[in-house]
C-alpha cells in the first residue's frame, strides 16, 4: 500500500515554488474549497442529537398529562403508568419502567426530574450546536494538509480540476516518501508545537443523514483506525468525492485532547515542510520526494512545456529528475512503419 503511486497536480508557478523553496507547502484546511472539510464528525453527533431531542416536546407532553391525570395520588400514578405504557414510544417506555420500579413516594419526583432534564436538553441544543461549530472551526484553522491522489496512473479529470490545464505538471511520489518527509521534519514540527501523520481518506455514503451504521463507521475511523482523532476527522468525506482517492499528509497542534482548544498559529495560512534527504546531513533534496514529473497528456515530448520544465529543473539542480510526456494520441506516429533501408 505504501508504494502505490500518489500524484499531486500543480500549476507551473506552484511547481517552481516547490523547487525554489525545496519544501512542500501544507495550507490550513479552512482554505480548501470544500466547506465541509473536517465537519462530518460534528455533523453526525449533532444529527443524532437533533433526531433524539426533536421527540422531546411530545414526550414531555405525554408525561405531563399523565402526572396531571394522577394528581398527587401515588396509587393513581401507578395506574396511569400502566395505562400509558402500551401506547408509549420506546423512549417514554424506558422512563415508565424505571418509574414503576421506583419507591412509590419517589415516582412522581423521578418523572418530574426527567421532564425538567428533557426540557433543559431541548433548550440547550442551540448552544451545543454553536459549541461544536466553534470547535470544528478551530480544528480547520489549525490543521494543515497536503492532498495527493492515489492511483496507478495519472488522471485527466484530476489534471483539469487541480492542475489548471496544459500549463501544469503532475508530480509522482509514494505514500512512504510522504511519511519519511514528516519523519525527517520532527525537529521542525516540535519547534512549532506540531505533530504530523499520513492517512487515506475514506468516502462514505449517507453522511448528510447518517444512520447507525454510518455513525458507527465514523466512530471507527476517528477513534480506532486513525493515528490521532485530529487526523481522523479530516479523513472522512462524502462518497461524491470518491474519484479523488486522497492520501493526505497532515500536521496539527501537539496538545492533549483535554487541553483548551485554541489555534496556536492564528495568522499562519500554511507551513512549508523542507524536503530533506534521509541521511545524517538532512540536506534539502526535492528528488527525495519526487520520483518523476509529468507534463499534460495532450502534450508531446517536443512541446514548449517539456522544455520549460527541463530548464526549471536544471536551474534548481535537478537535471536528472525524469520528465515524462505520455501523450494521448490515436493514429499517431506509433502506427507507422520505419522507412525501408
Tell me, what's the pLDDT at 137? 96
Find out whether 30 and 252 touch, Cβ atoms under 8 Å: no
User: What phi and psi, each to the nearest 5 degrees, are found at residue 209?
Assistant: -125, 70
The model's pLDDT over 157-193, given as tens digits with 9 standing for 90+, comes to: 888 888 888 889 999 999 999 999 999 999 999 999 9
pLDDT at position 279: 58
In a domain, 265, yes or no: yes
Whether residue 224 lies inside any domain: the answer is: no
Where in the sequence is the domain holding 157, given as residue range(s)? 5-28+143-201+245-328
**Percentage of the residues of the chain whose pLDDT score is greater than 90:** 78
pLDDT tens for 199-229 read: 999 999 999 999 999 999 999 999 888 888 9
Name the pTM for this structure. 0.88
Is the same domain home to 196 and 292?
Answer: yes
Q: Using one digit for the tens of pLDDT, what is the confidence trace for 249-269?
A: 999 999 887 788 899 999 999
| pLDDT tens figures, 301-323 | 899 999 999 999 999 999 999 99
Assess whether 166 and 293 both reside in one domain.
yes
Whole-number pLDDT of residue 231: 94
Model pLDDT for residues 43-97, shown as the tens digit of each residue: 999 999 999 999 999 999 999 999 999 999 999 999 999 999 989 999 999 999 9
pLDDT value for 1: 46
If asked whether residues 128 and 261 sit together in one domain, one would say: no
Structural contact between residues 10 and 170, judged by C-beta atoms closer than 8 angstroms:
yes
Q: Are residues 75 and 196 in the same domain?
A: no
Contact 249, 178 (CB under 8 A): yes
74 lies in the same domain as 156: no
- Final residue in a domain of this structure, among 77, 104, 133: 133
Same domain, 58 and 101: yes
Give φ, ψ of 22 to 5 degrees: 50, 45
Amino acid at each position: 500500500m505504501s508504494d502505490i503511486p500518489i500524484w499531486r497536480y500543480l500549476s507551473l508557478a506552484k511547481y517552481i515554488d516547490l523547487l525554489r523553496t525545496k519544501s512542500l507547502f501544507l495550507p490550513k484546511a479552512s482554505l480548501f474549497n470544500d466547506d465541509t472539510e473536517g465537519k462530518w464528525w460534528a455533523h453526525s453527533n449533532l444529527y443524532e442529537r437533533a433526531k433524539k431531542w426533536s421527540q422531546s416536546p411530545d414526550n414531555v407532553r405525554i408525561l405531563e398529562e399523565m402526572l396531571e391525570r394522577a394528581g398527587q395520588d401515588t396509587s393513581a400514578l401507578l395506574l396511569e403508568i400502566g395505562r400509558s405504557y402500551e401506547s408509549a414510544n420506546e423512549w417514554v417506555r424506558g422512563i415508565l419502567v424505571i418509574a414503576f420500579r421506583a419507591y412509590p413516594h419517589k415516582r412522581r419526583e423521578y418523572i418530574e426530574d426527567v421532564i425538567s432534564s428533557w426540557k433543559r436538553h431541548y433548550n440547550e441544543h442551540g448552544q451545543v450546536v454553536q459549541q461544536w461549530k466553534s470547535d470544528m472551526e478551530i480544528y480547520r484553522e489549525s490543521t494543515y494538509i497536503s492532498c495527493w491522489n492515489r492511483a496507478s496512473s495519472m488522471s485527466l479529470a484530476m489534471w483539469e480540476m487541480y492542475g489548471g490545464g496544459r500549463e501544469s505538471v503532475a508530480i509522482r511520489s509514494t505514500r512512504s516518501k510522504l511519511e519519511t518527509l514528516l519523519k525527517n521534519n520532527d525537529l521542525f514540527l516540535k519547534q512549532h508545537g506540531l505533530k504530523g501523520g499520513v492517512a487515506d481518506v475514506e468516502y462514505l455514503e449517507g453522511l448528510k443523514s447518517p444512520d447507525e451504521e454510518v455513525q458507527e463507521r465514523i466512530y471507527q475511523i476517528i477513534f480506532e483506525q486513525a493515528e490521532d482523532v485530529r487526523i481522523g476527522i479530516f479523513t472522512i468525506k462524502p462518497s461524491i468525492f470518491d474519484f479523488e482517492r486522497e492520501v493526505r499528509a497532515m500536521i496539527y497542534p501537539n496538545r492533549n485532547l483535554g487541553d483548551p482548544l485554541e489555534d496556536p498559529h492564528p495568522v499562519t495560512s500554511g507551513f512549508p515542510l523542507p524536503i530533506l534527504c534521509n541521511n545524517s546531513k538532512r540536506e534539502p533534496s526535492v528528488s527525495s520526494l519526487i520520483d518523476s514529473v509529468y507534463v499534460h497528456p495532450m502534450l508531446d515530448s517536443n512541446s514548449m512545456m517539456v522544455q520549460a520544465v527541463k530548464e526549471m529543473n536544471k536551474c534548481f539542480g535537478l537535471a536528472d529528475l525524469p520528465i515524462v510526456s505520455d501523450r494521448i494520441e490515436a493514429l499517431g506516429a506509433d502506427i507507422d512503419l520505419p522507412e525501408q533501408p
